[in-house]
Amino acid sequence: MSGLCGHKKLTVAVRRDFLCGGRAEEEDSREKEEAYFAARERAEFYAGIWGAPLVTLTAQRPARPDELIVEFSEEGVALLADGMRNQGDFERFLGRLRPGCWEREMLIKAARFRKKEQTAEPLSESPGKDKERPRPNGLRALDATAGMGEDALILAAAGFTVELAEQDPIIHLLLEDSITRAREGEEIYLRQMVSGMRLLEGNSIPWMRAAQPGYWDLIYLDPMFPERKKSALVKKKFQLLHYLERPATDEQELLQAALSARPKKIVIKRPLKGPDLGGQRPSYRIRGKAIRYDVIVPSHCSDRGEGV
């Protein structure tokens, strides 16, 4: 892996922002010391894999302007640069994804199947028998360009069993950390959602080509789009990831791999005025104010859906 990400130097860091030895805080300090060494062990592992320098971030040694830092701490894994911090946090989506809310998501409207084909059930918020229940007979989806997993989480809330593929190793690590923290967290409803998510290694194209035809009912594509224009707020949110992500160089290859897997439906997220992915006209579109979802229903399927 290259030591440069854009004009930044990739650096692996472990954060140490506590003092040891104070008698009144001895127990708390010991726990933090153990957490620090656990984080450092992980940091050393990835620094070795990526060929990146390993530093310890303290008040005396803060992040530097020329660094893109993958930070390990007791709070998990985060990406730092330009005074910004990016760490996955699925909990902030709970308000949108409670029962009665997720149905309004444009992605869910695009991913919807006819009732006769719908075997997945929406997640229950009850902490009783439905807690972390498996859904072996539910609809399967592949998020082939997972990023930080936010769209996959929406699909999981709607009852899909979701597999996520992310080819960038750093984003993959951030996503893995987000899923792990959600599985170990206190939010029962969130644990339900992520229990139906599985992270795949590497580029999604080989996975789609090797899949048994029809294994996924839905394939979701959201490739980075070079001409995509965002508001200042959205730009700030994704700016750190743009040091890592690269625009899709062969959209046709990505789309053809998705088609070769023979899903019932392919959903593609696009800028509102952007061109069709791979030049292929969709079966129908779902339009919003800034984005749209293009839906391709392959010829072997009969559900044509409804566009707006």
Can you say which residues are annotated as belonging to the binding site? Answer: 222
Q: Which residues pair with 292 in a beta bridge?
A: 270, 287
Q: Which residues are annotated as a binding site for S-adenosyl-L-methionine?
A: 222
Tell me the pairing of strands 8-15 and 54-57.
parallel
- Burial of 197 per CB tally in 10 Å (0-12, 13-18, 19+): buried
Sequence length of the chain is 308
